[in-house]
Structure 1
């Protein structure tokens, strides 16, 4: 049953708070929330960008929060910190509405989710941030290069230190910057259901921008999945999101009659689907994963694409239930 619609910001807060308190994947939490609430395609995209951005830049956002708050930042309520991260991310990285309107939105949301006292604190911190905004924007004025890159790009110091040891400061910063860019998505057209030409015409008709990959005419690169969800192209089995690396790995594996392949830790299933597409008669391909829910999604993906011969086993990779 569809629940009464909530604002995208309120829904993003619920997703991020659950992410803090559980071991669930962010994508799963977001998808569940979107399935239970009616949002426009613009609001759905806003929620996805907001939640993924807050998680991606969490260390940076917490550093700003710790500079703004005069007390012990670690002692703040986790609910308050989730809202503060959201607000700071929107004020720095998104231009959905003017700054003063965004502050007002988060003050009201804090009052609704917490209490008037916390809302007053939120108002003070955000207005203080706007007055000093330039001081908190990259490049940060932190003398220690390891600390600066760690905070600015939200990677742990031990990892930044290791990377600088391998590649030096300049290349490490370029790597951190690249890894923080929102990802594009590789769309693999299911030729059993629709021809690449017909599917591309659908995209052109719906004005969905895409780029053709040189190595395969059946693979397209896009920067937004919302049109695919709205038109139910995934549900119809016309296509699937798969990383380019999954296809390249599958291409390197020679399958023949009698081959026995175990894809351990198979979810989300990119490599397994590619292998299943070229499975010869007599070959055995098993997808295994310790997470039942994620493995079930792999199976549903296989069925949606109309592929046959898949075998699925819930198993721990440390103790696979197979004879060697």
Structure 2
């Protein structure tokens, strides 16, 4: 018998089951997309991202509608119903198509005994409409621990952070200053019929009115621009790059900031980009090649300096540490399902360890920029405060800027639905010997 591909809703249910088991969408979605016809791929991607974005609200509704949880072997059908609820509540899909095709997907997943349950739950959901969220976790569609932590850390901003996380992030570009200035590229976009505007804070940033495939961007393949969020672009404004400097980008993959550093100052002596992940370094090289830039790539744990360091100190270090990524949830909504509150303390320990290691290889008179895409103080200004307690000679440079909030030990940007992601920066200088 010929192989019958699964309906895309069944594929989506399997992807969400994989996320529940700890895989990120960037890991489990690409192979699933490859199994579908090209015309179905955008819909699968939209469903998987959308269901993750609204997972906690949809889960709240589904749990109200189920008399008892499904058995573990049938868990994929729980996710299939979440997919259907997402389409009923948040898409333009015709209701009859959602109901009929979800029942068919249930059969395709080899669970014919559950078609009656699926049909009954979804018909009730259609008939009765969405229930009132029973708690803040359902209302804001975030895990309860995250809601509470944000409420505690940001008593005046927690609701706006949660609401921003549920929006779709804009597509933002960084103009390659070695090729064009920003106004020139804005004119090229206008000629190509792509609506865009200059970003408020990043001097080379352009925000598109609507996302477009990169092949619609003028001179993209020739290195004119890169896709990079406005907040991430600010790193080069803080590094104070000068010709002749030796620069380290620690934790560099996928390479956006490495390339931004090279574009920002043409006469740098050397840029070394380190990442622990062997699988992610080829992406850094691809970005460098497209932009016609050169950096030395090293696969290593940056904190284990004996493993990779050649003994020559660095004038500038960008330390964009591994973090909870809670500032980029709108781009990666699966973070809501993958992250645990218990992750934060071990991450903070890694961050402080990296900061200590990088400090030891910074030249006297050198500058280190610490960055995260987290909104939790535990990973941000509190790390800097802890570091300054045991590195008393370290000099904290106050960031004078019109972006973010001053945290007394760095600046925090909270996610803005109309522009940048959530991010944190602090600048440290080592005194001259």
Q: TM-score, normalised by structure 1?
A: 0.80
Equivalent residues of 2:232, 2:257 under 8 A apart: yes
Q: Which residue of 1 aligns with 2:82?
A: 85
More strand by share: 2
Query: Could you say what secondary structure the match of 2:234 adopts?
Result: helix
Map 1:1-324 onto structure 2 (within 5 A).
Answer: 8-21=8-21, 23=23, 25-34=24-33, 37-40=36-39, 43-73=40-70, 75=72, 77-95=74-92, 97-136=93-132, 140=133, 142=134, 148-168=135-155, 171-190=157-176, 192=178, 200=186, 203-204=189-190, 207-214=193-200, 218-222=204-208, 224-229=210-215, 234-281=220-267, 283-308=269-294, 310-320=295-305, 321-322=308-309, 323=311, 324=361
Most deviating of 195-204 and 86-95: 195-204
Pick closer, same or farther for the CA change 1:219–1:280 going to 2, 3 Å. Answer: closer
Pairwise CA distance, 1:37: 4.5
How far did residue 242 of structure 1 move?
0.7
Query: Partners in 2 of 1:278 and 1:167 — Cα distance?
Result: 34
Note if contact 2:14-2:76 (Cα within 8 Å) is conserved in structure 1. no
With the length of structure 2 as denominator, give the TM-score of the two structures.
0.61
Instruction: Tell me, in whole angstroms, the C-alpha distance in 1 between the residues paired with 2:69 and 2:191.
Output: 55
Deviations 1:98-134 (A, max 9, x none): 2222111211122112332223321111112222323
User: RCO (CA 8 Å, sep 6+): is it higher in 1 or 2?
Assistant: 2
CA 1:44–1:75 in 2, change beyond 3 Å: closer, same or farther? closer
Worse-superposed segment, 108-117 or 221-230? 221-230
Please tell me whether the aligned partners of residues 287 and 312 of structure 1 are also in contact (alpha carbons under 8 angstroms). Answer: yes
Rounded Cα–Cα distance in structure 2 between residues aligned with 1:105 and 1:92: 16
**Secondary structure of 1:91's aligned partner:** helix
**Aligned-pair distance for 1:297?**
0.9
3-state SS of the aligned residue for 1:267?
coil
1:218-268 deviation digits (Å, cap 9, x = unpaired): 532126544325779654534321111222111110223453332222123
CA distance in 1, matches of 2:302, 2:37: 39
| SS of aligned partner of 1:261 | strand
Change beyond 3 A, Cα 1:179–1:232: same
Greater mean deviation of Cα atoms: 211-220 or 284-293: 211-220
Q: Give the 3 Å change call, closer, same or farther, for CA 36–135 of structure 1 in structure 2.
A: closer
Once the two structures are overlaid, the 10-residue window that deviates more, 175-184 or 126-135, is 126-135
Structure 2: runs of 5+ lacking an equivalent: 312-360, 362-433
Tell me by how many angstroms 1:78 deviates: 2.8
Aligned to 1:145: none
Tell whether the 8 Å contact from 2:223 to 2:291 is kept in structure 1 after alignment.
yes
Q: Aligned partners of 2:234, 2:54: CA distance in 1, in Å?
A: 30
User: Is the CA contact 2:254–2:284 (under 8 Å) kept in the aligned structure 1?
Assistant: yes
**Higher helix proportion, which one?**
1
Q: Distance in 2 between matches of 1:220 and 1:252?
A: 19
Counting matched residue pairs gives 307
